[in-house]
Structure 1
């Protein structure tokens, strides 16, 4: 839920009234006037979109709104909300787009990370597309905040998951999931894995040679039901990132991971971001 514009505030409601619902990102792009969208920002717009690249400043943002509307109309894409993880200063909104492609429709999952100030005005937006972009487009990696010197705290169920990953024992990793857990990997395609044996195949895959031991965590958004973690991979933990992603984890009935959704953006195989080096699907 990304748009929180004053122009939509009903008479008699306070800005922080729970009855005032924010507008979903793509719905707002299509339905709200451009000046209302622009007024939702506390700072000059800064938005990262895998299709459009880095969008900075009012004029570039208004052009982005126009082009995105045109694209959604051209490919006849509907948006289906999946889930939202939100705290006071950040939300991670998950949606499924279904653009027309090659005589059919493709699944293009999207996670929209929106940052706000204390007045619920936008300070930044980062979009992850999990699924194929139409060739020959190469996705733009979101510019994540610089990882802090000390990584953000994770909730206990994810700390246990991370400890198991670092230990390297597949059965220990699988024990951090519910027995009927589902993992959805949205990278250049969409892969759905259900249950312990399918997850075993995911976590038993070897890491790529030379890949860093683990990704660097940049942000953690935990609302008590689900927790979204943004991280990035870079060669030897330094230099330009070769992969950025947001992973959303839902807690299960036994306090383990019940549902995990990975929205992964990988750098082009060659170019200014360097050589892509994924780091094995088991990277947390």
Structure 2
């Protein structure tokens, strides 16, 4: 996920397998970009490439996609980017990858959490690819990102993920905290420095989150779930008493052995109407 291994040369696949010390069943996003095999990347799409990027917007067609790949790999070289794998979710209908990019900033190294989601056709090729990250680590500000998907009334978070969503919408601090394991954690979009772990830190986080007169209702758009982790693509439409223009995001919820949440990682660019964000 997301690139199809059969599209790449045997030499490239051998290098990736050697680097990862495991057989390749799907070529990860950044591994594929760095191969330089544009035709293999394009061939991984069911039709013309279509990518939705937080900065570049909608990238449609082979020529635009090739420019995007060149610009991205150039930027990665200029900013001395290293890629940390976080998690992969793969199902027959779609996949989600999570990474942390470590790169040069104006005052030192910074980290940029990034997630991407893809719809797959019955042959396992991508229909479209959606990339999510917050601009906060890069610019110190937020950018409103219009919806990429429409709300689907048939999309619901299963089991503990659904419990969490109901608590989030209701602004119920104790119910939200109760969905996590004792040492569970939440990472905000801004990165690892904004990780909250354990019951006390989570309670303080949700007291802050719900301090604007209510909860955070989300429009649910798509779910990718392999039983171990669940990725929910959504639109933020309000934060407490404050209505917001619909903004696209994704969150990944990892289940622990207890069935409760071991981790939640958020990827959006919402500017919370709070005194601290």
Task: Tell me, yes or no, whether TM beats 0.5.
Answer: yes
Confirm or deny that 1:89 pairs with 2:89. Answer: no
Q: Paired residue for 2:199?
A: 196
Measured after TM superposition, the shift of residue 177 of structure 1 is 0.9
Moved more, 40-49 or 156-165: 156-165
Equivalent position of 2:14 in the other structure: none
Asked whether the equivalents of residues 94 and 119 of structure 2 are also in contact (C-alpha less than 8 Å), the reply is yes
Is 1:71 the counterpart of 2:44? The answer is no
Q: TM-score, normalised by structure 1?
A: 0.81
Encode CA deviations 1:158-216: one digit per residue, 9 max, x unaligned: 12222333444322221111111111111488401010110011111254869885110
SS at match of 2:263: strand
Is 1:107 aligned with 2:111?
Answer: yes
Per residue, is there more helix in 1 or in 2? 2
CA distance in structure 1 between the partners assigned to 2:41 and 2:142 by the alignment: 27
Aligned 8 A contact 2:114 2:133 in 1? yes
Q: Separation in 1 of the partners of 2:201 and 2:41?
A: 43
Gaps of 5+ in 1: 11-18, 267-275
Mapping of residues 1-284 of structure 1, within 5 Å: 1-8=1-8, 21-130=25-134, 132-135=136-139, 139=143, 141=145, 143-148=147-152, 150-187=153-190, 190-205=193-208, 207=210, 214-234=217-237, 241-266=245-270, 278=272
**Residues 90 and 113 of structure 1 are in contact (CA less than 8 Å); yes or no, is this contact kept in structure 2?**
yes
Once residues 137 and 45 of structure 1 are traced to their aligned partners in structure 2, the CA distance between those partners, rounded to angstroms, is: 30
Task: Give the TM-score taking structure 2 as reference length.
Answer: 0.83
Query: Over residues 228-282 of structure 1, what are the superposed CA-to-partner deviations in whole Å (9 max), with x where a residue is unaligned?
Result: 111112369xx9944221111111121111111111123xxxxxxxxx6x4779x
- The structural deviation recorded for 1:104 is 1.6
Cα distance in 2, alignment partners of residues 132 and 188 from structure 1: 9
Over 3 Å counting, the alpha-carbon distance change for 1:175 and 1:133 in structure 2 is: closer
- Asked if the contact 2:115/2:133 (under 8 Å) is kept, the reply is yes
Whether the 8 Å contact between 1:53 and 1:140 is mirrored in structure 2 is no
Separation in 1, partners of 2:44, 2:135: 29
RMSD (CA atoms): 2.9
Secondary structure at 1:23 match in 2:
coil
* Number of aligned positions between the proteins: 260
Deviation at 1:45, TM superposition (A): 1.5
Q: List runs of 5+ in structure 2 lacking aligned partners.
A: 11-22
What CA distance in whole angstroms lies between the structure 2 residues aligned with 1:151 and 1:59? 36
Q: 1:262 to 1:71 in 2, by over 3 A?
A: same
Distance 1:29 1:205, change over 3 A: same
